[in-house]
Amino acid sequence: MLPILFCSAIALAIILERFWTLRRKAIVPAGLGDEVRQWARSRALDPGHLEALRANSPLGELLAAALTVRNRPREVIKERIEDTGRHVVHRLERFLNTLGTIALVSPLLGLLGTVFGLIRMFLAVMVSGVGDPMKMAGGIGEALVCTAAGLCVAIPAYAFHRYFRGRVQDLVVEMERQVFLLTDELTVAGESTAAAPVAAPRVAARPAAAKA
């Protein structure tokens, strides 16, 4: 029972920590994507903006990664986002493997405790005989308590493990959408910036032609 109780305490701590950490407003703040795209349009970007954005949230970290290489080709921007995204997703899935392990191990611990209890009970029967059948039934009931305790820990742990996995996937999809919108904005801005110098020589060439 002691390992089962230890697992239950760890599972409860992980569940409470994940509920607090995976809040939508902490991962994907409302309006952050629109605000950052407005920054990109107005060129109101400096290192201070990027550092504040990076520390704001996981979404802000992804957007800041894209803005850091905003003057590079689209392929470079996507590569930087993917590299940063792997670290962000890893942090979002923190402790979920431990929770899944607890969900898997707890029933086995309960079964192991039941087997040990039954072994002790039958060894006692071999030494002193069957004796009172009520005592034997009580010993079996006590041994089965371990199995019940293991299942009581495993079922909620497994349910919350699946729930948090789905929640992380939903948040990742939303972050991908915001990053794609920013990438499109940076690509359009980069194309307009690259096209601007093409028209400049034509304007400058007119006075020279007039003198000739």
| H or E segment and range at residue 181 | helix 133-211
How many domains does the chain fold into? 1
In this predicted structure, what is the pLDDT of residue 138?
65
Short-list 81, 102, 209, 191, CA closest to 150: 102
Token pair for 66: 């894209």
Full DSSP string of 106-128 = HHHHHHHHHHHHHHHHHHHHHHH
Short-list 68, 64, 67, 70, CA closest to 88: 64
Cα(45)–Cα(39) distance, integer angstroms: 6
The pLDDT profile of the chain, 212 residues, written as one tens digit per residue, is 889 999 999 999 999 999 999 999 999 998 888 888 887 777 667 777 788 888 889 998 998 888 888 888 888 888 888 899 999 999 999 999 999 999 999 999 999 988 888 887 777 777 666 666 666 666 677 778 889 999 999 999 999 999 999 999 999 999 999 888 888 877 765 554 444 443 433 434 444 433 43
The answer to the question of residue 23 being in a domain is yes
The angle at the Cα of 146, spanning 142 to 150, to the nearest 5 degrees, equals 155
- Domain range for residue 33? 2-106+154-194
140 Cβ contact list (under 8 Å, min separation 6): 118, 121
Cα(8)–Cα(105) distance, integer angstroms: 11
Q: What are φ and ψ of residue 70, in 5° steps?
A: -65, -25
The answer to the question of residue 129 being in a domain is no
The answer to the question of residue 202 being in a domain is no
The answer to the question of residue 21 being in a domain is yes
The answer to the question of residue 187 being in a domain is yes
In this predicted structure, what is the pLDDT of residue 187?
74
In this predicted structure, what is the pLDDT of residue 97?
94
The answer to the question of residue 148 being in a domain is no
pTM: 0.77
The answer to the question of residue 138 being in a domain is no
The answer to the question of residue 209 being in a domain is no
